[in-house]
Structure 1
Amino acid sequence: MFEMNETDLRVPLTEYSFEQRFDERGAIRWMQDNWSRSFLYAAVYAALVFGGQHYMKARPKMNLRLPLVLWSLSLAVFSVVGALRTGSYMFHILSSSGFRRSICDQSFYNGPVSKFWAYAFVLSKAPELGDTAFIVLRKQKLLFLHWYHHITVLLYSWYSYKDMVAGGGWFMTMNYSVHALMYSYYAARAAGLSVPRPLAVLITSAQISQMAMGVTVSGLVYRWMHHADCPSRLDNITWAALMYLSYLLLFSNFFYQTYLRRHPHPKTTKTE
């Protein structure tokens, strides 16, 4: 386990009582002992997804509008609060210690404000798998990008939290922020609200920016990992870089196919 480095906290940060009481050492120990369960969850998820698709083939699609609204709204609120809390801590590190320290700092895992939300972030990747149930039961098109993204984020998040590697603060803050937009959009759509198309374009653009920044952070951690204050391992950096690069390509392709490519209009059949 890496030795913890802590950012300069001369400027006090306001914490809620549950954040102060959170036992991050116990959480880290639990993840070190149990992180491999993520493979079991991923396998069960894949079996249910593709088995569910087969099951639904001969059955009518379900509506599920109200459950989808509640599900998306719950994740939207969680992501908004997580983005605000980790974002405030990230801003503190950037303003007090600079960009390099924000990349290398480990105090996201045990510092005030952020320690609870770091653990909540990695745990949330398991229940977020439930997103796919709505796609399967409503018989919507299931993209490779969707299930691949869910599985790999779960595996990498649990794998990385146990070692408290550098770069985690950026990964968490970016993901919380993008999910705050994304799940709010999903909740509004599920509720039947009219959502302007540019908002969907903005969300996908934010996702692409997140992936590009993920590749950048991975590269900077590799550059600085040999310094004592930027702890990581080559295997972790390799997986992170490959994961974010694959996301960057997949989300960019999705953006092109959805918003830029001209789809031919279907031919109409003449009727007499």
Structure 2
Amino acid sequence: MSILEQLVQVLGDSEGDGNPLLWRPHIPNSIDSKPLATSPSELFWDFPYDRLPENQVIAFFMRPETMFGLALFYLVSKEPLRWFRDAICFNPKSETFTNFVALHNLALAVFSAVTVWNSWGVVFAHLLAQGWIPTYCDLEWTSWNSGIGAWTTIFYISKYYEFFDTWILVLKGKKPSFLQVYHHTGIVFCMWGGTVSQSAWLLFIVLLNSIIHTFMYTYFFIKTLYPNIEIKSAKHLTMAQIGQLAIGISFSFGYVALGDSCSTPASRLTILFMQIYGFSLVALFVAFANRKYKKKTA
């Protein structure tokens, strides 16, 4: 089976739980549907390559070298892209490029909205059927295998496509902020670690971040087509970003407090990284909001 056929199979194979309003793609993260990593060592030097899923598309993104390699490529790609832009005298105001940027933002807005609908639906269905603790802790991975794991995996992989946000800025002749580069780099590590350990805490990232991204990329889509339009509510997106980070961090402390009764050591290690990353993002977003919006109101 070709790589393209495997990708189509993943996106088209639904669990079929009888609810026609929810799409639950079948995306196994391992050959036995159990976490690839349950101990910290399995996240790195003892990674179980022999248990990677048969689908090579998913297996590729589960590998630690893929995550580290693509993150490194993203970090070093900006200067070569600037050189290429200058070498070909790239015109960022061309209609073709503007349409590409608009479609990029529209695609991410629609994708985020689809993720909102399906991930929230799957989580609510599991809450009603199993209750709060089995959904929050999910040590038997019933919630993960009921559909939230599939949407978490798709959401994780989409973070690599979001690298285009930075590359678009470079092609426009703008300098990406430290906040943006740090944001895009850190999230792939946290999402990868949570996905290979099938961490239940990821559901908060998927549920909240998909809502923010729906509005954010819709805003970018409108501003791409109508750059002179003023959208006064834009500042609320930054506050919403800060809010979703604060909520996610708050809910993550329960996994640490409950220990092995609620999460695996590998999952808790990724929580530690996520908390450090989350707190630093809150500080960066607050500083960004103070610089951008206080100037306008002064």
Normalising to structure 1: TM-score of the pair? 0.80
1:78 aligns with 2:78: no
Structure 2 unaligned residues grouped into runs of 5+: 1-16, 37-51, 53-58
1:36 aligns with 2:49: no
In structure 2, what is the equivalent of residue 226 of structure 1?
Answer: 260
- Secondary structure, aligned partner of 1:226: helix
In structure 1, what is the equivalent of residue 284 of structure 2?
Answer: 250
In structure 1, what is the equivalent of residue 165 of structure 2?
Answer: 131
Confirm or deny: 8 A CA contact 2:135 2:143 kept in the other structure: no
In structure 2, what is the equivalent of residue 166 of structure 1?
Answer: 200
* CA gap 1:101/1:197 in 2 versus in 1, 3 angstroms: farther
* CA gap 1:168/1:202 in 2 versus in 1, 3 angstroms: same
In structure 2, what is the equivalent of residue 62 of structure 1?
Answer: 92
RMSD of aligned residue pairs (Cα, Å) = 2.9
What's the CA shift for 1:109? 2.7
- Further displaced range: 42-51 or 67-76: 42-51
In structure 2, what is the equivalent of residue 51 of structure 1?
Answer: 80
1:89 aligns with 2:131: no
What's the CA shift for 1:25? 4.2
1:109 aligns with 2:148: no
1:122 aligns with 2:151: no
Note the alpha carbon deviations across 1:100-121, whole angstroms, 9 max, x for none: 5543234443114x33312211
* CA gap 1:194/1:107 in 2 versus in 1, 3 angstroms: farther
Confirm or deny: 8 A CA contact 1:104 1:221 kept in the other structure: yes
What's the CA shift for 1:214? 2.1
In structure 2, what is the equivalent of residue 270 of structure 1?
Answer: none
Give the whole-Å Cα distance in 2 for the aligned partners of 1:263 and 1:32: 44
- Further displaced range: 145-154 or 215-224: 215-224
Give the whole-Å Cα distance in 2 for the aligned partners of 1:43 and 1:208: 26
Alignment of 1:139-150 (within 5 A): 139-150=173-184
Give the whole-Å Cα distance in 1 for the aligned partners of 2:132 and 2:26: 29
Note the alpha carbon deviations across 1:153-212, whole angstroms, 9 max, x for none: 112211220011231111111111111111111111101166543321121111001111
Give the whole-Å Cα distance in 1 for the aligned partners of 2:271 and 2:71: 21
Structure 1 unaligned residues grouped into runs of 5+: 1-11, 265-272
* CA gap 1:101/1:126 in 2 versus in 1, 3 angstroms: same
Number of residue equivalences: 251
Normalising to structure 2: TM-score of the pair? 0.74
What's the CA shift for 1:236? 1.7
* CA gap 1:15/1:109 in 2 versus in 1, 3 angstroms: farther
% same residue: 22
1:209 aligns with 2:243: yes
* CA gap 1:17/1:249 in 2 versus in 1, 3 angstroms: closer
* CA gap 1:57/1:154 in 2 versus in 1, 3 angstroms: same
Query: What amino acid is aligned across from residue 14 of structure 1 in structure 2?
Result: N
* CA gap 1:21/1:144 in 2 versus in 1, 3 angstroms: closer
Give the whole-Å Cα distance in 2 for the aligned partners of 1:52 and 1:73: 23
* CA gap 1:15/1:119 in 2 versus in 1, 3 angstroms: farther
Query: What amino acid is aligned across from residue 153 of structure 2 in structure 1?
Result: Y
- Further displaced range: 82-91 or 16-25: 16-25
- Secondary structure, aligned partner of 1:140: coil
What's the CA shift for 1:16? 6.8
In structure 1, what is the equivalent of residue 14 of structure 2?
Answer: none
Give the whole-Å Cα distance in 2 for the aligned partners of 1:92 and 1:194: 43
In structure 1, what is the equivalent of residue 4 of structure 2?
Answer: none
Give the whole-Å Cα distance in 1 for the aligned partners of 2:240 and 2:172: 27
- Secondary structure, aligned partner of 1:126: helix
Give the whole-Å Cα distance in 1 for the aligned partners of 2:20 and 2:65: 31
